[in-house]
Chains A and B, each alone.
Chain A
C-alpha cells in the first residue's frame, strides 16, 4: 500500500516538491539559528572577561585602532580586576594545504594577546604549549582552524610572510576565537606595523562588582570614544535577533503547512477519486470505514514524510552552498540541531494529517454500491 501515493508520479512529485521547499526553508533557518545559538551559549565562560571595550566607529574590532595605554587606564577603573588588549588582524593567509568545508574560506582571524591573559578570552587549556611573549614566532590555533587547515602541533603557518610554528591547539568554546589563531601581542604589533596599538580590550570585573555598572562607568568616562558591552548584553542582543529568525521560521512553517496542506488535499482527493472502484472492492471484502480512513491518511503521511526527507536534504545542501560561496567571513558555522530535525518532521507530519484527513474521510464514507458502479 506504500506505493499508492506514488501511482501518479507527476502529481506526487509536485506535491512533494511543494512541501519539501517549505521544509527546506525551515531546516535552513533552523541551521542558522542553531549555529548562532550554540555560539552565544558559550560566550559566557568562567574566568573570561565580562566586558568588551571597542573604539566607537570601529565596527569589526580589528586593526590597531586603540592605544595600548588604554589597557592600563581601564585597569584602574573602579571594579576592574584585569584587562587585556587584543590586536585582531583579518588575515587572508594563503596556506599550502588550502581547506574545505564550512568556515575555511577567506582567511582566519589573527589575534595578538599577552600570553598571561589568555584566560580572559576563554582559553583555559591548550593542547600543546602556549606561545611565549616576545619575538619568537610561535602561535596557538583554534580547533576549527586546525581542522580546516589540517594543522597539528609543530606545523608551520605563514602569516604576513613570516613563518609561525604551531605550539598548541585550543578550544575556547567561542566560535569567534576557535576560527582564529593567537600569538604574542608584541610580535603581531611589530609584524603589522601596529606598535603600541590594540583593536579592543577585554575587561574582567572583580567578583563582587556588577559588570553592567562597570561597563557603564567605562563608557561614561570616555564619551564619544569607547563603547563597552557586557557579554550578557551581547548574548541578549543575539538572542533577540535569534527570536526574530525563529518567528520568521515559524511563519514560514505555517505557510508551508497551508500551501503543502492544500497540495496534499488535492493530491489525495484525486487519488481517492481515481480509486473509487477499488475502495468499493475493499468495502465489499469487509474493510471497515476506519481502515480505509487509516489507509488514505497513512498514504498522505508517507507522502509528506518523503517530502520531509527531501526537504531536509535540500535545506542542508542550500545552507552548505550559501556558506561556501556567499558568506565569506568565518563568523559562525551552521548547526543542524535535533530540534530543527524534529520540527521539520513535525511540520511534515502535521501537513500529512491535516491534508489527508478530508480525503480520507471522503473515501471512508463512500457508499460501496456507488463506488462499485463507478467506472
Chain B
C-alpha cells in the first residue's frame, strides 16, 4: 500500500440474495489521502454498495479492501474503525429524532474516551462551523432538510475521521439548498484535509470533485 493512498481496493466482489445479484463485480480503486471523489452511475449500479464497503458497514466476499491502513476483510470488529476513520452523510433520515441537535452531533463520541464537556465543546465547535450553533438545543424534527444535512455533516466530522462518505447528500434537497451543502462539504474537505467520497446523480455536482468515477454494473468504468 502506498503511503498516500487512503483507500485501496482490488477485485472487490459483493453479491446479494445468495449470489443472484452481483452488486459489486470486481472493483479496482485507489483513492489518495485528501482527494475529493465523485461517484456517478445509474441506479442499481452499486454506488451505495461500494460506499458501504469502504465504510465497513458490510463485508465483501472476494477481493481486498484496505482503508486508512486497515484490512477490512480481515478485521473482526469494525465498529472502532467506523468510529475513528469514517464519517457518513446519508441522503436522509440521518438524525435521531428524540435527541437534540447537539446530542446528535455527540453520538459518535460515545465510543471514544472523550469526556462529556469535551464532547459538548467539540460538537458546538462543529455546529458553529456549519452555522447551526444557535440551533444546538433544538429537536432535529424542527429543522429544515438543509439544516438537518448540515447537522449530519457536523456529526460526520466530530471524531476527526480520515474519510467522509456522502451518499447523495443533496438528493433530497432543492438545488439551492443542495448547493449550500455542497459548498460546505467542499470547504470543510479542504480545510480539514479529509478525503471526501460522494455519490451523486448530478453531473454539475460531480464536476466539483478532483476526480469522477463512473460505476456500471458493479464495476468502475474507466472509459469516461
Q: Interface on A for B, CB 8 Å cutoff?
A: 1, 3-4, 7, 277-278, 281-289, 291, 367-369, 372, 375
B110 contacts A369, C-beta separation under 8 Å: no
Distance in angstroms between the alpha carbons of A313 and B55 in the assembled complex: 50
Partner pick for B93 among A277, A285, A288, CB 8 A cutoff: A277
B82 contacts A369, C-beta separation under 8 Å: no
- Return B134 CB to nearest CB of chain A, in Å: 23
Q: Mark B80-116, 1 if CB is under 8 A from A, else 0.
A: 1111101010100111111100000001101100000
B96 contacts A278, C-beta separation under 8 Å: yes
Q: Which residue of chain A has its CB nearest to the CB of B77?
A: A288
A286 contacts B84, C-beta separation under 8 Å: yes
Q: A7-B98, A282-B107 are in contact. Are A289 and B57 (CB under 8 A)?
A: no
Q: Which residue of chain A has its CB nearest to the CB of B56?
A: A368
A286 contacts B96, C-beta separation under 8 Å: no
Partner pick for A284 among B88, B97, B98, CB 8 A cutoff: B88
Q: A368-B57, A369-B52 are in contact. Are A288 and B111 (CB under 8 A)?
A: yes
A287 contacts B79, C-beta separation under 8 Å: yes
A4 contacts B110, C-beta separation under 8 Å: no
Say if the beta carbon of B159 comes within 8 Å of chain A. yes
B98 contacts A285, C-beta separation under 8 Å: no
Main secondary structure of the interface of A (DSSP, over half): helix
Say if the beta carbon of B219 comes within 8 Å of chain A. no
List 26 interface pairs A-B (beta carbons < 8 Å), by A numbering.
Answer: A3-B98, A7-B98, A278-B96, A281-B88, A281-B90, A281-B93, A281-B94, A282-B96, A282-B107, A284-B82, A284-B88, A284-B90, A285-B83, A285-B88, A285-B108, A285-B155, A286-B81, A286-B83, A286-B86, A287-B107, A287-B110, A287-B111, A289-B79, A368-B57, A369-B57, A375-B93
- In the bound complex, residues from chain A placing their C-beta under 8 Å from that of B94 are 281
Partner pick for B96 among A281, A291, A368, A369, CB 8 A cutoff: A281
B55 contacts A284, C-beta separation under 8 Å: yes
A288 contacts B57, C-beta separation under 8 Å: no
Distance in angstroms between the alpha carbons of A284 and B57 in the assembled complex: 7
Q: A7-B98, A291-B110 are in contact. Are A372 and B57 (CB under 8 A)?
A: yes
- Interface size on B, as a range, is 20 to 34
- In the bound complex, residues from chain B placing their C-beta under 8 Å from that of A372 are 57, 90
A4 contacts B108, C-beta separation under 8 Å: no
- Return A2 CB to nearest CB of chain B, in Å: 10
Distance in angstroms between the alpha carbons of A372 and B51 in the assembled complex: 13
Distance in angstroms between the alpha carbons of A367 and B90 in the assembled complex: 16
Distance in angstroms between the alpha carbons of A284 and B107 in the assembled complex: 11
Say if the beta carbon of B61 comes within 8 Å of chain A. no
Partner pick for B79 among A278, A288, A367, A369, CB 8 A cutoff: A288
B58 contacts A286, C-beta separation under 8 Å: no
- Return B222 CB to nearest CB of chain A, in Å: 26
Q: Which residue of chain A has its CB nearest to the CB of B53?
A: A369
- In the bound complex, residues from chain B placing their C-beta under 8 Å from that of A283 are 57, 79, 82
- Return B164 CB to nearest CB of chain A, in Å: 12
Q: Which residue of chain B has its CB nearest to the CB of A284?
A: B88
Q: Which residue of chain B has its CB nearest to the CB of A280?
A: B57
- In the bound complex, residues from chain A placing their C-beta under 8 Å from that of B77 are 288
Distance in angstroms between the alpha carbons of A281 and B81 in the assembled complex: 15
Q: Which residue of chain B has its CB nearest to the CB of A285?
A: B108
A286 contacts B159, C-beta separation under 8 Å: yes
- In the bound complex, residues from chain A placing their C-beta under 8 Å from that of B79 are 283, 286-289
Which of A283, A369, A375 counts the most B-chain CB atoms under 10 A from its CB?
Answer: A369
Distance in angstroms between the alpha carbons of A1 and B107 in the assembled complex: 11
B110 contacts A367, C-beta separation under 8 Å: no
- In the bound complex, residues from chain A placing their C-beta under 8 Å from that of B57 are 283-284, 368-369, 372
- Return A268 CB to nearest CB of chain B, in Å: 16
Residues 60 to 88 of chain B near chain A (Cβ within 8 Å): 77, 79-84, 86, 88
- Return A181 CB to nearest CB of chain B, in Å: 61
- Return B169 CB to nearest CB of chain A, in Å: 14
A286 contacts B111, C-beta separation under 8 Å: yes
Distance in angstroms between the alpha carbons of A125 and B183 in the assembled complex: 89
Q: A369-B52, A369-B57, A372-B57 are in contact. Are A286 and B90 (CB under 8 A)?
A: no
- Return A353 CB to nearest CB of chain B, in Å: 22
Q: Which residue of chain B has its CB nearest to the CB of A282?
A: B107
- Return B212 CB to nearest CB of chain A, in Å: 24
Q: Which residue of chain B has its CB nearest to the CB of A286?
A: B83
A286 contacts B52, C-beta separation under 8 Å: no
Q: Which residue of chain A has its CB nearest to the CB of B156?
A: A285
Q: Which residue of chain A has its CB nearest to the CB of B107?
A: A285
- In the bound complex, residues from chain B placing their C-beta under 8 Å from that of A278 are 96-97
Distance in angstroms between the alpha carbons of A16 and B86 in the assembled complex: 40
Q: Which residue of chain B has its CB nearest to the CB of A6?
A: B98
Distance in angstroms between the alpha carbons of A37 and B212 in the assembled complex: 81
Q: Mark B30-72, 1 if CB is under 8 A from A, else 0.
A: 0000000000000000000000100101100000000000000
